[in-house]
Structure 1
C-alpha cells in the first residue's frame, strides 16, 4: 500500500508543478518547497537539539503556539522548527520570532521523509490537530523518535473509522500519545484500540486567555469609539459583507462599526468602502481624518483585529456562509456576544457555544437585523450572552499545562 500511496503523492506533485505558473497559491506551495532543504541546512546543524512542530495552516499554528512558547521558556538550548503544509499559514508566519526555522513540509514521500529527518534529527515531534502523514510517521517510528498529536479532534466520518481506512489507521497508530479536544474523540480512538490518549481540550483556549493579560489599548480605537456602543466584524467575506453593509446603511446612527475583511487588496477595500453610505474611514487614512466623527472604520491592514475585539460590544466573525468559519474564540474571550453565519459544523468551540447560546448563528439579512435589534434593545441579554463565552473559555483552558507535563518526560 505504501508503494501506491507514494505513487499518488509523486503524481500529485507533478501536476502541482504543472499548475504552479497559472495558480498563485499553488505557485507558492511549489516554490516554497523548493527552498525547504536549503533553509534547513542553513538553520540547523548536526549539533543542534531540535523540537519539530508541524501544522497545516494558520489555525493550527495558533493551536501550537502556547506549546512553542512554553518550550522556548523551558528549553532555551533547543531549536524550534515549524513546518507548514499550506501557503496561507507559511506566508504569514515564515518570519515569526517564536521559531528558529520555519519551512514548508516537503511532500510526503519515503525519500523526502528520510532526508528531512536526517537533516533535522529532532528529539521530539509534535503534530497539530489533523496532520497525519504516513511516510513521516513511519520514519519517525523506525528511528524511535517520539511523536505526539495535540489538539486533535476526530469525527466518525473520517477515513480512520471506515472499513477501507486501514492504511491511514496504520499511520494514525504511530503516535506515542494523543491529546484530544473532547471525550468523543477519545472514544473513537478507543474503538481502534488506541488507548494512550488524554482529553485536554483545545490549546487555543490557553492562547486566547493570555490575550486578557496583554496590553490591548489602541489609541485610534479610543478616539473612534468614544462612549458609543461598537460592533466589530472580523475576517469577513463578500457573503458576510452583503448582509452587514445593508444593515449598516439602514441602521440608526447610534452605533460605531468596524469592518476587518479577510481580503485587504486595494480594489476590494475600495469596493467595500464605496458600498457604505455612512461616514467612513480606512485605517490607512486615519492620520488625515477626524476619526471620532466617522461611524464606520474599515481596517485595511493585518495584525490589529484581536486588540480591536477588546473594544467591541458585539462581534461578528466571518466565513460562516461559504469559506469556513474564522476564529470565534478571539472575540469570545472578551465576554461579548458573537454572531456567525449558519455553517459552523466541524468547529468544536462554535458548536459548543452555539449550544450554550453564547455564539448566535444567523441565516440571512432578516435574522441578522432581528438579532441586532434584540442585542441593542436589551442590554441584559447582550451581557448574559457575552458572559457565556467568557465562562466557557475560563472553564476549558489548561490543555497546555497537561501537554507540557508529558513533554517534560521526553526531553
Structure 2
C-alpha cells in the first residue's frame, strides 16, 4: 500500500508543482527555495544530538515555541525546524534567527527524504499535532530514529478521512514511537485507527503553557491606549478570519456602531485576516463599506479611525492584549476554528462561530466555564458584542472565566518534555 501511495505521489508531483506556482501568484514566497522541498540544501555539521521538529505553519510553530525554548536550553541538542508554508518559515526566521537550523520540510518521497536524512542525521523526530506522512515515518523507522507526535489532536472529521485509507493509516501510525495527545477523546480516535495503546500518552494541550512577557504586556498596554483613545472606547478584535467571514464581521460591526449604547457606538475593530495574501483584499473590503482603515504596517493610528487592519505577521498576541473582546475566526465558515487559548490567557471574553471541530475540546472547556459565546450570523455576532460592551461586570466575568480555563489547564509542556528527554537519553 505504501508503494502505491508513493507511486501516486510521484504521479501527482507535476500537479503539486503547478499548485505551488499558482499559489506563488498570490504569495510570491511560494516560488522560492524549492530545492529544499526536495532535500537539497547544505549539510548540517554538528557534534550535538540533532532533533528535527516539524511545524507545518505559523500556528503550529507558535504552539511549539515554549517547547523550542526549553529544548534550546539543552546545550547537547541542535534543533532543526522545518515548515511547509512560507509564512511558517518567516516566523521561524524572525523569531529564532540563526539559533536553529531551518529549511522547508522535504516532500514525502523516498529520494527527497533520503537526501534530507543524509544532510541532517537526526537522532529524534518530533512532529506537531496532525502532520503525519507515511514515507517520512517509514524512513524514520528504517533508520531507527524515534518519531514522536507532539500535542497530537484528531478531530472526528479527520478521523473519518483517515478511516477511508485504513490500509495506509494503520502501518503509518505503527511507525510512531510515541504519541503525546491532547485529550483522551482524541487518543481513542488514534487507537481506533491502529495506533498501539501502549504508545499513547495523554499530556494535555501545550498551547495552554504560553507565557506573557512583561515586554509584551507593556507593548499591549501602549497599543491599547492608542486604539481606545486613552480608554474612551472599547476595542473589539476579529482574529484569524477566513474568506467569507470578513463580510459577516463588518456587517456585525455596522450593527454595533448603530447601537444606542455609547460604548458600542464608539467601539474600534481590530481585524486580523488569517492569510497574508488576503490582507489587501480585506482592506479594500473595509474601505468599500465606508470605514476609515489604518493598516498596522503604517503605524499611523488616530482617534478618528474605525478599523485597524493587522497586515503584519507575528503580532496576534499583541493584538489580543490590546483588545477588550475577542472573536476567533475560522468558525463562521467550516474551517474548524482557531486557537482560543491566546485570547483566554489575556482574560478576554470570547466569541466564535459554531464550526469548531479542530478545537472541540478547548471549546468545550471554555463553553462549560461560561467563557465562550457561540454565534451563527452577523446579527447574533453583533448582539454578542453589544451585550458584552454594555455590561462591564459581564465582560469581566466572562473574561475571568476564560483566564481560569487557561491557567487551570497548564502543565502539558512539562509532561511532553519528559517524554522527549527519555528518547534523547536513549539516542
Give the Cα–Cα distance (whole angstroms) in 2 for the partners of residues 10 and 119 of structure 1.
22
Q: 1:261 maps to what in 2?
A: 272
Q: 1:329-386: CA deviations, max 9, x gaps?
A: 2211111211112322222323432344312121112212222232133323222221
Give the Cα–Cα distance (whole angstroms) in 2 for the partners of residues 385 and 272 of structure 1.
29
Q: 1:330 aligns with which of 338, 342, 356?
A: 342
5+ long unaligned stretches in structure 2 = none
Asked whether the equivalents of residues 306 and 330 of structure 1 are also in contact (C-alpha less than 8 Å), the reply is yes
Moved more, 351-360 or 28-37: 28-37
Q: 1:236 maps to what in 2?
A: 241
Q: 1:202 aligns with which of 200, 205, 209?
A: 205
Give the Cα–Cα distance (whole angstroms) in 1 for the partners of residues 188 and 410 of structure 2.
21
Q: 1:69 maps to what in 2?
A: 69
Shift of 1:233: 2.1
Asked whether the equivalents of residues 349 and 371 of structure 2 are also in contact (C-alpha less than 8 Å), the reply is yes
Q: 2:6 maps to what in 1?
A: 6
Q: TM-score, normalised by structure 1?
A: 0.87
Give the Cα–Cα distance (whole angstroms) in 2 for the partners of residues 385 and 404 of structure 1.
32
Asked whether the equivalents of residues 258 and 299 of structure 1 are also in contact (C-alpha less than 8 Å), the reply is no
Shift of 1:126: 0.4
Q: 1:405 aligns with which of 393, 418, 423?
A: 418
* Change in 2 beyond 3 A, CA 1:243/1:21: closer
Give the Cα–Cα distance (whole angstroms) in 2 for the partners of residues 376 and 26 of structure 1.
37
* Change in 2 beyond 3 A, CA 1:40/1:80: farther
Q: 2:89 maps to what in 1?
A: 90
Give the Cα–Cα distance (whole angstroms) in 1 for the partners of residues 407 and 198 of structure 2.
28
SS at match of 2:422: coil
Q: TM-score, normalised by structure 2?
A: 0.84
* Change in 2 beyond 3 A, CA 1:196/1:361: same
The two structures, once aligned, show a CA RMSD in angstroms of: 2.8
Q: 1:118-146: CA deviations, max 9, x gaps?
A: 21111111011112222221121122112
* Change in 2 beyond 3 A, CA 1:138/1:338: same
SS at match of 2:197: coil
Q: 1:59 maps to what in 2?
A: 59
Asked whether the equivalents of residues 16 and 26 of structure 1 are also in contact (C-alpha less than 8 Å), the reply is no
* Change in 2 beyond 3 A, CA 1:383/1:220: closer
* Change in 2 beyond 3 A, CA 1:286/1:170: closer
